[in-house]
Amino acid sequence: MKMVLICCVMILVSACKEAVKKPPHDAKARYESALKTTNFGKNKKAGAYYNIRGFRMYCETYGKGEPVLMLHGNGGDISNFVMQIGYFSRKYQVIVPDSRAQGKSIDKTDSLSYEMMADDCAELLRQMKIRKANVIGWSDGGITALLLAKRHPQLTAKLAITGANLWPDDTAIEPASWSGMQQGFREIENKMKSGQPKTAADSLSYKLQKLMAYNPNLKPSDLRNVIAPTLVIGGDHDMIRPEHTLAIYRSLPNADLWIIPDCGHATLISHDIEFNGKVDAFFSSKFKKRKKDDNFF
């Protein structure tokens, strides 16, 4: 009987370990399955519109506690954080908006920049009477988070940015990915400049792709004023070159670096359990700045 009990316990422990691992190759299926059943991004009880600098920004709020602002990537929306919202809302106040011209935050004007979106976020926090927030930013959201901390330092506590870039070319973005982005942009640009019929979707696609084709335009020295402690994240197979992610980390005065093995651009999806735990720990603990000669342990 005792041996049977021990065997059962061992099987249970093994099963738990396998459940916790959730290998990356299952990530896409898990993510797509979660998207089919989630209410995030369409939850009327959690959602509200805010009049922000010339457009109506849609935002959903979950949980109570220290505020965490989540900023999605180019062409994304609130549901991109389907693997994060439930986890973080257990101990934080999660604030997750659709960025300008994306999701339900309709903006039909032609102009769009990361600086505009950073200022949008600052105004959103002010209207929500949030004195200071931690920020999770993915891809374009990571760029916006850096600019929010640079332009509105009084509103940012800590940052966790993943897949961000400082400038748009193949020294920051893997050449194959950059080539594909450029090709896509040229195609939509040619259509917009031609006499072909254009749809609202074409105009939006042009605006979002143009943003990535010509922006951001930051120098490493521009990050010296980002004083918020920042966890800089990237995948070892990220479309953002690891050496560029390293350059961002080295340019920030208060930063930690985390390059995730066997991981691409979607760090928060393919490695969601590790990502959530690591970012939570970073936000929860006191940031320790190492001395320049503290490089042994």
Q: List the chain domain ranges.
A: 36-169+218-284
- Helices 140-151, 114-127: axis angle to 10 degrees equals 70
Percent of residues, the chain, with pLDDT higher than 90: 85
pLDDT at 25: 60
Over 50: is that where the pLDDT of 124 sits? yes
pLDDT at 210: 97
The predicted-structure confidence for 136-194, as pLDDT tens digits, reads as follows 999 999 999 999 999 999 999 999 999 999 999 999 999 999 999 999 999 999 999 99
In this structure, what token pair is assigned to residue 261?
A: 């093995």
Over 50: is that where the pLDDT of 219 sits? yes
Over 60: is that where the pLDDT of 6 sits? no
In this structure, what token pair is assigned to residue 102?
A: 């994306």
Over 50: is that where the pLDDT of 66 sits? yes
In this structure, what token pair is assigned to residue 256?
A: 């930690």
The predicted-structure confidence for 130-144, as pLDDT tens digits, reads as follows 999 999 999 999 999
Neighbours of 143 (CB within 10 A): 28
Average pLDDT over residues 258-281: 97
Residues 72 and 183: their CA atoms lie apart, in Å, by: 23
Over 70: is that where the pLDDT of 63 sits? yes
Mean pLDDT of the chain: 92
* Top-confidence residue, 150 or 195: 150
Residues 245 and 248: their CA atoms lie apart, in Å, by: 5
Architecture of domain 36-169+218-284: 3-Layer(aba) Sandwich (3.40)
Question: Are 223 and 245 a contacting pair, CB within 8 Å?
Answer: no
Strands 230-235 and 66-71: unpaired
Over 50: is that where the pLDDT of 110 sits? yes
Residues 226 and 253: their CA atoms lie apart, in Å, by: 7
pLDDT at 164: 98
Positive or negative torsion for Cα 58, 61, 265, 164: positive
